[in-house]
Amino acid sequence: MALRLTPLHPLFAAEVEGADLRAPMPPAQAAEIAAAMDRFAVLVFRGQDLDDDQQIAFGLNFGPLEAETATVDVHKRRLKHAQMNDISNLDERGRVLAADDRRRMFNLGNRLWHSDSSFKATPAKYSLLHGRVVPPEGGETEFADMRAAWDALPERTRAKLRDLVCEHSLLFSRGQLGFTAFTAEERARFAPVAQRLVRRHEGSGRLSLYLSSHIGRIRGWPVPEALALIRDLTEHATQRAFVYRHPWRKHDLIMWDNRCTMHRARPFEDREHPRDMRRVTLQDSRPTLEQAA
C-alpha cells in the first residue's frame, strides 16, 4: 500500500500514514520513506506501539546505526541495547531522576537547538525518536529547516559562510548551561571535532546550514567573533517561519534528518511526570569534511 503524506508545515515535515513499523519493511516502502525524508526532512508516524527491537529493526532499513550513545554516567544504563539512546527523565530503576542528578543536569542541554551527534567525527544521518510515556503537557519537540534558513540568507552572507569549518563538542553545549562537571574520561571522549558550516545534502543536493549548540569555535576566527556569528545564524535559522513544533502523543515515532534540520526539546514538569522517549540514531556516510561541498 502506498504511503499517504500530509504536510505539517509550509516548508517541511509531514505525517505518514500506511506504514506499520512493527512489521518487516519491504525494500520498496523503505525507499519511499527515504525519498520522503529527502523532501520533508521530518516525518511523523502516529500510533506505532513498538518495542526496542522493532524500533532498531526499523532504523536498520536506512543504514548502519551508531554503535553507542553519548552521555554521562554510562555505567547507569537503563536500556539493554547500547545503540538505544535513553531520552528520558528516568533512572536505571525506572524512577524519576532526582532534581540534582548529574544525568538530569546533562540532559537539560537537549533544550538547546542542536543536531544529533554533530560532536562526532562522523555525525548522525537520521534520528528515530519514539514516545513510550509522554507527560500530560509540555515536552514538545521543535524542528527547524536549515535548508530554508540557508536559502533565505543574502548572497553576500552565503559567500562568507560557504567554506567555514566549525568545531563541535558536548563540552561546548553543556558549558552554555554551566554544566562543566565532566570526568577526564568524558572530556577525552567529547573532544572537539571539525564539521562544515554549510553542507550539501547527499539525497536532495540542496545546501543547508549545519548549526548546533555544540559549536564552540570557527577555525581561524577569534572565539568571541565566532560565537557571535553562530548566535546570529541560530536566531535567523530558528525564526518561527522555519520551525515546526510537535506535540507528542503516546506511540508517536518521529524520524528526522540531522543533516538539514536542528531540533530542541521544550520544558515540562520533569520532577513530577515521567517521560520515556527512546531514540535510534543512524550514522552518516562519512565525516562532513569528506563529503561533496
CA distance 240 to 249: 22
pLDDT of residue 141: 99
pLDDT of residue 202: 95
In the 8-state DSSP scheme, what is residue 237?
A: H
Q: Is 42 in contact with 12 (CB distance < 8 Å)?
A: yes
Q: Report the C-alpha dihedral over residues 48, 54, 56, 59, rounded to 10 degrees.
A: -60
Lowest pLDDT segment from 74-78, 186-190, 267-271, 281-285: 74-78
- Which residue carries 554503535 as its cell? 67
- Percent over 70 (pLDDT), the chain: 98
Mean pLDDT over residues 216-235, rounded? Answer: 99
| 4-290 under CATH 3.40.50.720, yes or no | no
- Kindly list the domain boundaries of the chain, sorted by start residue: 4-290
| Cβ density class 207-229: b for 16+ within 10 Å, e for less | bbbbbbbbbbbbeebeeeebbeb
Q: What H or E segment, with its residue span, contains residue 244?
A: strand 243-246
pLDDT in tens, 126-154: 999 999 999 999 999 999 999 999 999 99
Query: For residue 293, is pLDDT > 90?
Result: no
pLDDT of residue 186: 92
Query: For residue 18, is pLDDT > 70?
Result: yes
pLDDT of residue 215: 99
Could you tell me if residue 107 is left (phi over 0), alpha (psi between -120 and 50 degrees) or otherwise beta? alpha
pLDDT of residue 67: 86
pLDDT in tens, 80-94: 888 999 999 999 889
Average pLDDT in the chain: 96
Query: For residue 76, is pLDDT > 80?
Result: no
Task: Give the 3-state DSSP-derived string for 109-168, with helices as H, strands as E and coil as C.
Answer: HHHCCECCCCCCCCCEEEEEEEEEECCCCCCCEEEEEHHHHHHCCCHHHHHHHCCCEEEE
pLDDT in tens, 46-69: 999 999 999 999 999 999 999 877
Question: What is the number of H-type helices and E-type strands within the chain?
Answer: 8, 15
Query: For residue 119, is pLDDT > 90?
Result: yes
CA distance 147 to 134: 30
Q: How many CA atoms lie within 13 A of 199 on its CB side?
A: 29
pLDDT of residue 173: 98
Cell of 39: 523532501
pLDDT of residue 1: 65
Could you tell me if residue 264 is left (phi over 0), alpha (psi between -120 and 50 degrees) or otherwise beta? beta
pLDDT of residue 19: 97
Look up the pTM and report it: 0.96
In the 8-state DSSP scheme, what is residue 245?
A: E
Residue 90 sits at φ, ψ, to 5 deg, of: -115, 145
